[in-house]
Amino acid sequence: MSSIPILEGITSQMVQTRRLKVHVLSAGPQHGTPVVLVHGNGATATFWEEVMLALPAGFRGIAPDMRGYGDTEPLPVDATQGLGDMVEDVLALVEALHLGRYHLVGHSMGGGIAMKCAIARPADLLSLTLVDTMSPYGYSGCKGLDGTPCHEDGAPAGAGSVNPDFIRLMGAKDRGLENPSSPRNVLRQFYVKPPFIPKREEELLSAMLSLRVGEDWYPGDFAPSPHWPGAAPGKRGIVNAFGRKYFYAGDFVNISPKPPILWIRGADDLIVSNNALWDIAALGALGFVPGWPGVEDCPPQPMIDQIREVLDRYRANGGTCSEQVIADCGHSPMLEKPDQFNALLHAFLGSG
């Protein structure tokens, strides 16, 4: 059923929910304790296969493709909901599968989706694991520990900030290495820390290339702006949905009850950091994008500091959370350092 080859022991199925048809990969006993795994941008459930197969006895891994990714029904993304479409998709899947309470794991963009799931229905969660998660204040377009927007119109974040070569090559389903912006090069340079190359690179690349390209999906539409770089987020598509203009999960610290949280991240992550190389403000500060107006107007987003400050407040409000940093590792520790990643995840799941 999956358009991407799957590992032995993984089951592929389509699940009709009250919102859309969702493609789901799963592993483990049918009535095991559910562990729902939400992928990041430019990925699919394929990225979780090895994690699901390695789960301890008694746990059932469930990994959906988000809308616009993989084999799930490609309904459009309303950016003004700030990933709310995908949050409701996850909650509808949980209902359709009658999971009851479950552990939730989110990677990168999936971490933002997971935080908003926790805000919507905190009592349903046994635990929350954030893997190289985006900030609670979105990706790009904000500054300071409190995520203050750089500009009211959302600039410089959004679809207009994405490398047009990468968009073109994604749309062309390019699998080569000739162009530095090719999806395969992006996978090797940013998703993981070089020189690591995943064993299932072809399947992971196919997962990347399954992303629908266009104004309703990736990257979305954009509007002209008087602020650098001349474009602001539109109202459609994925990149606009997770920019600061529409995405906000800062009230996550006030949820009740408070599930325990594990934050796992690679020490050398280039996608989520205080100087993230996919944040156009950071690229401007480095001189890669001309016209950068400076740190007062548009500083690099302090993503790690923002995440840590929010989790510190979560702890101060009565929650429990742990930050675990995996050395010599990039954006995808479950692929790069599976033994360390699984040891941390399994101990955390077992502690509940």
Q: Residues 66-73: what's their mean pLDDT? A: 98
Q: Is the pLDDT confidence value at 115 over 90? A: yes
Q: Helices 84-96 and 109-120, interaxial angle, to 10°?
A: 70
Q: What is the pLDDT of residue 352?
A: 61
Report residue 236 as tokens. 């459609």
pLDDT digits 0-9 by tens, 31-49:
999 999 999 999 999 999 9
Give residues with Cβ within 8 angstroms of 162, minimum separation 6: 219, 239
Which residue has 């675990």 as its token pair? 324
- Express each pLDDT in 225-283 by its tens digit: 999 999 999 999 999 999 999 999 999 999 999 999 999 999 999 999 999 999 999 99
DSSP letter for 304, please.
H
Say which DSSP state 160 is in. Answer: G
- What's the topology of domain 11-351? Rossmann fold (3.40.50)
| Coil, strand or helix at 113 | helix
Position 215: which residue type?
E
Size of the chain in residues: 352
- Closest-CA residue to 27 (of 41, 2, 44, 10): 10
Question: Degrees (nearest 5) of the Cα angle 75, 119, 256?
Answer: 160
Compute the mean pLDDT over every residue in the chain, rounded to the nearest whole number: 97
Which token pair is 347? 């101990």
**Quick one: which of 174, 192, 193 has its CA closest to 184?**
174
Report whether pLDDT(351) > 90.
no
Mean pLDDT of the region 172-185: 98
Does residue 159 carry a pLDDT above 70? yes
Q: Could you read off the pLDDT of 214-223 as tens digits, one per residue?
A: 999 999 999 9
- Quick check: 210 pLDDT over 90? yes
Does the pLDDT value for residue 1 go beyond 90?
no
Alpha-carbon Rg for the chain in angstroms: 19
Query: 213 phi and psi, to 5 degrees?
Result: -105, 130
pTM score, whole prediction: 0.98
